[in-house]
Structure 1
Amino acid sequence: MKKIIVLMTMIIIFMETFSDSIPMIPILPAIKNEEIDEIPTVPALPQEDLVEVAGIRPLEQNTTVMMNLKLDVVVPLEIISDVDIYGMVIDNQKLEIPFDVELNKVPDKKDYYSIKFSETEIDIDNDGQIDTKIYTPKFINTRIVEDNILYVDGAKISKEGTHTKKVYMTIEVKE
């Protein structure tokens, strides 16, 4: 803001100092009312009616266009099921809990898609030992993916109580 004020002050001082050497711009004469009437106006719209006797204007050209449209809509492969797994482990018990994952459609390519989990080896009780593992088939070729197993080793769980863990699933393509 200070820079603008200083700049404006400098311009005013410059103009007052050198105003004798700068030519003045002539002032334009005012336009008289008589001259305003001479300015051309917008032409009026035509008054004659262009409608034919039957009430329909004749078409200059009529064309019928027939089109055939084909679309390729690609629906991505998605996991549409949430999987909630509940299990009770007593002492050193080992559990194998099978679970299914449902997809929105059958994969269009065989041995191309696979399910990836955010974690496959989990420390469910946060004691530093891996006690839970998730096993899944290498590729998915059906709409409902079976043979997924959650393996829990009770001998490695050191803390009693209820333990929860959220694991995210995504679909990955073969590279």
Structure 2
Amino acid sequence: MNRIVCMIFIILNFVQVSVAEQVKPTINSDVNVNKEQTLEEREGRVLEKTYTILMEEKVNVFVPLEIISDVDIEATLIGDQSLEIPFEIELNKQPEKKDYYSIKYSESAIDIDKDGKLDTYIYSPQYINERVIKDNYIKIYGDKISKEGQHKKSVYMEVEVGY
């Protein structure tokens, strides 16, 4: 766990004003007031003491669990063939808690050829307990793909926190 130490300097100005000085003098319109006078000089306030306080603060910095690997999968299907393609996901660090984090996909059941039938499925373990997750795979059913050609799909992954 990284710790950051912040130094904060605060200068506090304390002003002590007597009861006689708190009453504002009335300015007669006949009296010529010098415009160069400061507010303190006109109202009779004088800075008497200045204090400097040095404070130290310690902060815990939390680095979230992130996916640092990209997964590109290319597969060739012939006819009604079904494929099971394994893949790995790498995280930036080992999870601190067991059975707490999981992988969430933007889509886990996909219609790759856009014909209305789901033909591609993404499977992952329920929880993330290691830095490299190896039990992931994609299952493609060739008999449900009706359009020939090259099909592309982007699926986004994120780490989900359990409750």
CA deviations on 1:111-167 (whole Å, 9 max, x unpaired) are 101001111111111122221111000000112211110011112111110011111
Give the number of aligned pairs: 124
Of structures 1 and 2, the one with the larger relative CO (CA 8 A, separation 6+) is 2
Aligned partner of 1:170 in structure 2 is 158
Higher helix share: 1
Corresponding residue for 1:132? 120
Stretches of 4+ moved more than 6 A in 1?
Answer: 60-64
Establish whether residue 103 from structure 1 lines up as the match of residue 91 from structure 2: yes
CA distance in 2, matches of 1:83, 1:61: 61
Same amino acid, percent of matched pairs: 54
The residue that corresponds to 1:39 in the other structure is 32
Unaligned runs of 5+ in 2: 1-28, 38-48
For residues 69-107 of structure 1, give each alpha carbon's deviation from its aligned partner in whole angstroms, at most 9, with x where no partner exists: 321111222222221111111112111111111222221
Query: Counterparts of 1:166 and 1:82 in 2: how far apart (Å)?
Result: 11
Would you say 1:154 and 2:142 are equivalent positions? yes
Aligned counterparts of 1:123 and 1:40: Cα–Cα separation in 2: 84
Structure whose residues are more often strand by fraction: 2
**RMSD, matched Cα:** 2.6
Change (3 A) 1:78 1:39: same
Q: Residue 143 of structure 2 aligns to a residue in which SS? A: helix
The correspondence of residues 4-153 of structure 1 with structure 2, limited to 5 A, is: 39-41=32-34, 65=54, 68-153=56-141
- Structure 1 gaps of 5+ residues are 1-34, 45-59
Instruction: Give the TM-score taking structure 2 as reference length.
Output: 0.66
Q: 1:98 to 1:69 in 2, by over 3 A?
A: same
TM-score (norm 1): 0.61
CA separation in 2, counterparts of 1:134 and 1:81? 16
